[in-house]
Amino acid sequence: MATTTTRTGLTQTDIINRRLPLVILFLVVMASFLLVRVSQYQWLPPEVEREFQLRSAQNTNSVRRLPAERGVIYDRDGQPLAVNTIQYEIGVSPNLILSDRRREVAANLGLILGLDEFALYQQIDLQEQSWVLVARPVTADLGQQIADLDMLGVVINPLSKRFYPQGTLAAPLIGFVIEAENNTRGAIGVEGSYNAQLAGRVLEQEVSNVPFQLPTDADGSQRGMDVVLTIDRDVQFWVEFELTKAVQETNATGGSIIVMNPRNGDILGMASYPGFDANNIAGIEDPKLLQNPAISGVYEPGSVMKVLTMAGALNSGTITPQWTYNDQGVLNVGGIAVQNWDRSAYGIVDATTALAKSLNIGMATIALEMGQERFYTALRDFGVGQRTGVDLPGEESGILKVPGDPDWSESNLATNSFGQGVSLTPLQMITAVSAIANDGLMMQPRVVLQIVDGENVVNAQPSAIRRVITAETAEIVTQMMIRAVTEEGGGVPLAQIPGYVIAGKTGTAEIPSPTGYEFGTSIASFIGFFPADDPQVIILIKLDRPAGYWGSQVAAPIFKRMAERLVLLLGIPTDDVRQALTAAGGIVTER
């Protein structure tokens, strides 16, 4: 073999031998560099490692949101008012179904669920996903039929559907839920105001796309909290029964009844007519029917307001129980003529008689003597024109015009004193009068008694809003209200019940319209608490446009029927038995 010689005299072999170490050195350096780079991937920076893990999870896993089981709502005695019924969500995991079994799965699901078999087969056969929704919601019966087939790749997830076992009972107060895609959301009532506690926690569950890797069970800790109400189911039933009966008997267009414990603000029953069935919300066309007029419907209270005027005047020292005035049948104030309800003149009248006989001129005279500042301060102290802060959504604040407002006039000072030109909600009215029943201390009205989170029970503590009047003033006004019910030759005999002294007041309010007050129509009401010397319950009755017109004629009998039922349901002994028990050192249990 010939050897080529270069100009330098070196052969090609010599040149190769000289360059070979350089080539080897280069290869060694490059190999070392590659080894170092490869080794660096064994200890990735945290941010790089997280990125790789994320991309890996995206390729092999998907996230599915599982709805939470909503908490149960109970009455104060543990009777369920809102519960969950089981329905199902049916899905398939195509990557778990063998190709030769997919048509069979589609046929079985289509037959049970009444779905198109071919469309189901396309969903299963053309996708390689971890989860494909087939149907939602599915009844428990159909869900069980599918479960009995035990088909690999068919996923059955339980869903909670809200159900109200008492039907229409307390529907505006309890509320209802709107079915969202991944959970439920409370709309009104307790369901709305306590949605955060009831709703629970939506769970994000990772589902593997790897065949034959089955999903894990849902986390039970996502369940919502239970809520125990102050409402007594039996009391609520009779409240609604008596309200419906009263509306039908008097041809009223609507009304409200509230039963409350004045000592702690517990609402034992609250109803408005008409109501609705929370199990059939879809059938309600008028959204106004979903409101709760007991907290959102404002009305002019009429003579019930006289109790607040009297309490404010006594508490401010403007008058005493012995105060008198000369009732001449007409009082001109701010360009209007104030007259008594019966258009009569009563001559010399004291404060107690003015309230017992419900005299408009008496109340207007008291308001004028109080003056603007004292009068409106007293009304504000009683919460007029302010929300009570009850733990329910949709509460209105009412309407109170005061000096300085563009539409206030001097005549308002007189008419407001007997409940005209001022508007309250039924809850505001009962809360204000409850302060008199509770020795002058106004309590925060409430509908929730407890929040139960597993083994943890949180009790709602009674809360005082403020002291409105002194205990002495409250006692004086209570005695006046007793006389307003028992006054010989007058009073309200239809509200009295044997064995119990009632403190109460009627109300018959004209209904305002854009052109003045409507003729021949009224809002008839009665408010009363008992036992008068130790109030344990207060009741407000309100009827809209009843045929009987007068509160003493149409609202008082409903109060009597309610009171007679409540003394049995709440275990309130007659006055003589209770007083004898107290004298002997016994205790009458408060509910």
Q: Does residue 221 form part of some domain? A: no
Helix (H, G, I), strand (E, B) or coil at 318: coil
- pLDDT at residue 431 above 70? yes
Closest C-alpha to 532, from 486, 570, 584, 565? 486
Instruction: Report if residue 23 sits inside a domain.
Output: no
Residues 267 and 148 in one domain: no
| Nearest residue to 75 via CA among 591, 511, 553, 477 | 591
- pTM reported for the whole predicted model: 0.81
What span, in angstroms and rounded, lies between the C-alpha atoms of 308 and 424? Answer: 13
Given this model, what pLDDT does residue 46 score?
A: 65
How far apart (Å, rounded) are the C-alpha atoms in residues 132 and 355?
72
Asked, for residue 56, whether it belongs to a domain, the answer is no
- Give pLDDT, residue 200: 79
Among 10-14, 26-30, 410-414, 576-580, the range with the most confident prediction by mean pLDDT is 410-414
In sequence order, the 6+-apart residues with CB closer than 8 A to the CB of 162 are 70, 82, 83, 84, 85, 176, 177, 184, 191, 278
Number of residues in the chain: 591
Higher pLDDT, residue 409 or 219: 409
* Residue tagged 């069970």 (tokens): 217
What integer pLDDT is reported at residue 447 of this predicted model?
98
The first and second tokens of residue 81, run together, are 């008012």
Check pLDDT > 50 for residue 117: yes
Overall domain count for the chain: 2
170-190 pLDDT, tens per residue? 999 999 998 765 567 888 999
**What angle (nearest 5°) sits at the alpha carbon of residue 44, between those of residues 40 and 50?**
160
What pLDDT is stored for residue 154 in this prediction? 83
- Does the pLDDT value for residue 458 go beyond 80? yes
Q: Is position 588 within any domain?
A: no
- Local confidence band at 223 (pLDDT 50, 70, 90 cut-offs): confident
| Residue 183: per-residue pLDDT | 63
Does the residue 442 lie in any domain?
A: yes
Query: Which residue, 142, 175, 199, sits at the end of a domain?
Result: 199
- Does residue 256 contact residue 243 with C-beta atoms inside 8 Å? yes
Helix axes 140-149, 102-113, angle to 10 degrees: 160
- The verdict on 289 and 191 lying in the same domain is no
The values of phi and psi at residue 163, to 5°, are -140, 140
pLDDT tier at 39, thresholds 50, 70, 90: low
Residue 22 pLDDT greater than 60, yes or no: yes
Which of 135 and 2 is assigned the larger pLDDT? 135
- Is residue 460's pLDDT more than 60? yes
Closest Cα to residue 525, out of 549, 502, 498, 491? 549
Residues 190 and 238 in one domain: no
pLDDT value, residue 210: 46
End-of-domain residue from the set 142, 176, 199: 199
Is the predicted pLDDT of residue 25 greater than 90, yes or no? no
| Average pLDDT of every residue of the chain | 87
β partners of residue 205: 64
CATH number of the domain at 69, please.
3.90.1310.10
pLDDT above 70 for 54: no
Residues 55-86: tens digit of each pLDDT: 555 555 555 556 678 899 999 999 999 998 88
Residue of higher predicted confidence among 82 and 200: 82
Residue 526 lies in a domain: yes
Q: What is the pLDDT confidence band of residue 211, given thresholds at 50, 70 and 90?
A: very low
137 and 253 part of one domain? no
What mean pLDDT do residues 321-341 have? 95
CATH at 329: 3.40.710.10
Q: Is 284 found in the same domain as 195?
A: no
Task: Give residue-wise pLDDT tens across range 248-274.
Answer: 999 999 999 999 999 999 999 999 999
Query: How far are the Cα atoms of 81, 171, 268, 269, 272 from residue 242, in angstroms, in the given order?
Result: 20, 16, 15, 12, 11
Q: Is residue 184 a part of any domain in this protein? A: yes
| One domain for residues 379 and 337 | yes
Residues of the chain above pLDDT 90, percent: 61
Q: Say if residue 393 is preceded by a cis peptide, omega within 30 of 0.
A: no
Residues 174 and 305 reside in one and the same domain:
no
Show which of 199, 221, 254 is a domain's final residue: 199
Domain around 570: 233-583
Q: Do 364 and 247 share a structural domain?
A: yes
Buried b (16+ CB within 10 A) or exposed e, 296-334: bbbbbbbbbbbbbbbbbbbbbebbeeebebebeeebebe
Residue 212 pLDDT exceeds 70: no
pLDDT at 204 over 60: no
Q: Are residues 386 and 494 in the same domain?
A: yes
**Tens-digit pLDDT profile for residues 9-19:** 667 676 677 77
Same domain, 164 and 247: no
**Any domain includes 533:** yes
In sequence order, which residues have a C-beta less than 8 Å from that of residue 580 and are 6 or more positions away?
A: none
On whether both 151 and 100 belong to a single domain, the answer is: yes
pLDDT confidence bin for 136, thresholds 50/70/90 = confident
Compare 530 and 187 and report the one with higher pLDDT. Answer: 530
177 and 249 in a single domain? The answer is no
Q: Tell me which range, 135-139, 289-293, 542-546, is most confidently predicted by mean pLDDT.
A: 542-546
Question: In the predicted model, what is the mean pLDDT of residues 501-520?
Answer: 92
